[in-house]
């Protein structure tokens, strides 16, 4: 068995705000098939992403610091030769590092460069959150910058094959570069637990309140379920669409508990462990149907019955869905599915078991590291052939 020397380089957080990076690096370090020769650029800062934005001067200062950190990362990449390591892995957020590399990077004798593109900046800002108008000058500039930044990568990773194909259609280049790798979670926190037995049932939505998540659909369902005193909807989080949620709740009755304050990943895991049903995403953007959100990993790892949006063929690796999928993301249909699970302990248990089994077989950290090892070997073999 070949041991692969891998270097993690970039400007990334090793914190629970970017848990995939943190848990992937931890899982790779623990695997004897890998030798992590360096982990440069990561920091332990746990920036609270839900806190209000800082002022313009502070933002500008932060951007300048990010630029110089990106240049520093490029210098580290340039020092890595094939004799030093087999693979350079650039975690999220990789855009600025790659953009600087496109101007100042050394290509000769470079190890295989793997880039984390689980979250595309252009797709998030323009297509999903609609912060910038599609087709506008700023959107076109962002698209060009991200396209340029990705051109030097040997492997561009997305979380599903469907999403990888979408990114290829968006950024073009060589289709074979766009590949898929599962996300990694903290499996010491998110694990099967027995749900407390009680007369009422708790349905949990946890998220950052971005359009992809469709919190308005959850609130609409809760309003429709107002007469069911045995069903409590629990919202955990805050973010972009929170004002719309406030407006919905102000004009209607709903049995909702909304925890808007910041919660640590440990607190989130405790909340998940104590609920009966978990909710995924219900947005109306195309991204909703081509990804499996991080919250779904957490719910399935805990063996919780999960309700979420339908997904495109290829996102789920089995013909049997591991969660109860909505055909249309409407509050009416979600309310109906919640009632189905609340009123049938057998159905809840069936989907809870399906969720955990699917996680073990397809989504676990062990499975992700196995697939990463195979993926890297195949791509290294391609490089040797050329």
- 264-306 confidence digits (pLDDT tens): 999 999 999 999 999 999 998 889 999 999 999 999 999 999 9
Per-residue pLDDT at 55: 65
Per-residue pLDDT at 41: 81
Going by pLDDT thresholds of 50, 70 and 90, the confidence category of residue 62 is: confident
pLDDT > 90: percent of the chain: 74
Per-residue pLDDT at 44: 55
- End-to-end CA distance of the chain: give it in Å, rounded: 23
Max distance between CA atoms of the chain, in angstroms, equals 67
Question: Residue ranges of the alpha helices (H) in the chain?
Answer: 19-29, 56-79, 95-104, 121-122, 137-150, 161-171, 215-224, 242-250, 265-273, 294-301, 331-343, 345-358, 365-385
Asked if the model's pLDDT at residue 49 lies above 50, the reply is: no
Tokens found for residue 12: 């990334």
As a whole number of angstroms, the distance between CA 355 and CA 350 comes to 9
Per-residue pLDDT at 251: 84
Mean pLDDT, rounded, for 27-45:
88
Mean pLDDT, rounded, for 89-107:
94
As a whole number of angstroms, the distance between CA 256 and CA 342 comes to 16
Asked if the model's pLDDT at residue 110 lies above 50, the reply is: yes
pLDDT > 70: percent of the chain: 96
Asked if the model's pLDDT at residue 77 lies above 90, the reply is: yes
Q: What is the pLDDT of residues 316-362, one digit of tens each?
A: 999 999 999 999 999 999 999 999 999 999 999 999 999 999 999 99
Taking all residues of the chain, what is their mean pLDDT, rounded to a whole number?
92
Instruction: Report whether 243 contacts 219 (CB < 8 A).
Output: no
Asked if the model's pLDDT at residue 57 lies above 90, the reply is: no
Per-residue pLDDT at 51: 43
* 3-class secondary structure per residue, 202-229: EEEEECCCCHHHCHHHHHHHHHHCCCCC
Asked if the model's pLDDT at residue 17 lies above 50, the reply is: yes
Asked if the model's pLDDT at residue 167 lies above 60, the reply is: yes
Asked if the model's pLDDT at residue 63 lies above 60, the reply is: yes
Cis peptide upstream of residue 112 (ω within 30 degrees of 0)? no
Neighbour count for residue 226 (Cβ, 10 Å): 15
Q: What is the pLDDT of residues 244-266, one digit of tens each?
A: 999 998 888 888 999 998 899 99
- Residue among 182, 139, 150, 152 nearest 363 (CA): 182
Instruction: Report whether 334 contacts 302 (CB < 8 A).
Output: no
- Residue among 338, 329, 93, 92 nearest 213 (CA): 329
Instruction: Report whether 126 contacts 42 (CB < 8 A).
Output: no
Can you say how many angstroms the Cα of residue 146 is from the centroid of all Cα atoms in its chain?
A: 19
Per-residue pLDDT at 179: 97
Domains and CATH numbers, the chain: 4-185+365-385 (3.40.50.2000), 201-363 (3.40.50.2000)
Burial level of 63, CB count in 10 A (0-12/13-18/19+)? Answer: exposed
Asked if the model's pLDDT at residue 367 lies above 80, the reply is: yes
Q: Helix (H, G, I), strand (E, B), or coil: what is residue 318?
A: coil
Asked if the model's pLDDT at residue 366 lies above 70, the reply is: yes
Mean pLDDT, rounded, for 228-255:
91
Per-residue pLDDT at 334: 98
Better-scored residue on pLDDT, 212 or 303: 303
As a whole number of angstroms, the distance between CA 379 and CA 178 comes to 11
Least confident piece of the model among 117-131, 167-181, 360-374: 117-131
Q: What is the pLDDT of residues 185-205, one digit of tens each?
A: 999 999 998 888 888 999 999
| Alpha-carbon distances, residue 168 vs 99, 148, 158, 162, 172 (angstroms) | 18, 13, 10, 10, 5
- Residue among 284, 286, 334 nearest 308 (CA): 334
Per-residue pLDDT at 64: 86
């Amino acid at each position: 068995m070949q041991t692969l020397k891998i270097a993690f380089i970039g400007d990334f957080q090793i914190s629970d705000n970017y848990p995939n990076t943190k848990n992937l690096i931890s899982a790779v370090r623990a695997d004897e098939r890998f030798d992590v020769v360096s982990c440069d650029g990561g920091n332990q800062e746990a920036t609270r992403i839900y806190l209000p934005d800082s002022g313009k001067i502070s933002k500008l200062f932060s951007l300048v610091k990010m630029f110089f950190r990106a240049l520093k990362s490029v210098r580290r990449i340039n020092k890595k030769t094939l004799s030093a390591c087999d693979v350079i892995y650039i975690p999220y957020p990789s855009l600025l590092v790659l953009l600087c590399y496109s101007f100042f990077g050394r290509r000769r004798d470079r190890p295989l460069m793997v880039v984390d593109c689980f979250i595309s900046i252009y797709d998030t800002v323009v297509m999903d959150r609609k912060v910038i108008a599609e087709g506008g000058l700023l959107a076109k500039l962002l698209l060009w910058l991200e396209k340029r930044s990705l051109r030097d990568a040997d492997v561009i990773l997305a979380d599903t094959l469907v999403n990888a194909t979408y990114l290829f259609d968006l950024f073009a280049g060589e289709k074979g570069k766009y590949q898929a790798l599962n996300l990694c979670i903290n499996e010491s926190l998110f694990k099967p637990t027995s749900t407390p037995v009680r007369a009422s049932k708790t349905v949990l939505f946890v998220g950052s309140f971005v359009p992809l998540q469709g919190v308005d659909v959850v609130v609409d369902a809760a309003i429709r379920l107002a007469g069911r005193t045995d069903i409590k909807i629990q919202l955990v989080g805050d973010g972009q669409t929170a004002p719309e949620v406030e407006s919905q709740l102000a004009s209607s009755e709903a049995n909702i508990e909304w925890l808007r304050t910041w919660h640590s990943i440990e607190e989130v895991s405790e909340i998940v462990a104590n609920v009966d049903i978990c909710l995924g995403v219900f947005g109306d953007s195309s991204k909703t149907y081509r990804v499996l959100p991080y919250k779904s990993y957490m719910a399935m790892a805990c063996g919780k019955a999960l309700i979420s949006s339908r997904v495109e063929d290829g996102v789920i690796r089995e013909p049997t869905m591991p969660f109860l999928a909505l055909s249309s993301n409407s509050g009416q249909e979600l309310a109906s599915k919640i009632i189905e699970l609340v009123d049938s302990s057998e159905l809840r248990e069936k989907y809870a078991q399906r969720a955990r089994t699917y996680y073990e077989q397809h989504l676990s950290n062990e499975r992700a590291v196995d697939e990463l090892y195979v993926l890297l070997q195949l791509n290294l073999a391609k490089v040797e052939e050329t």
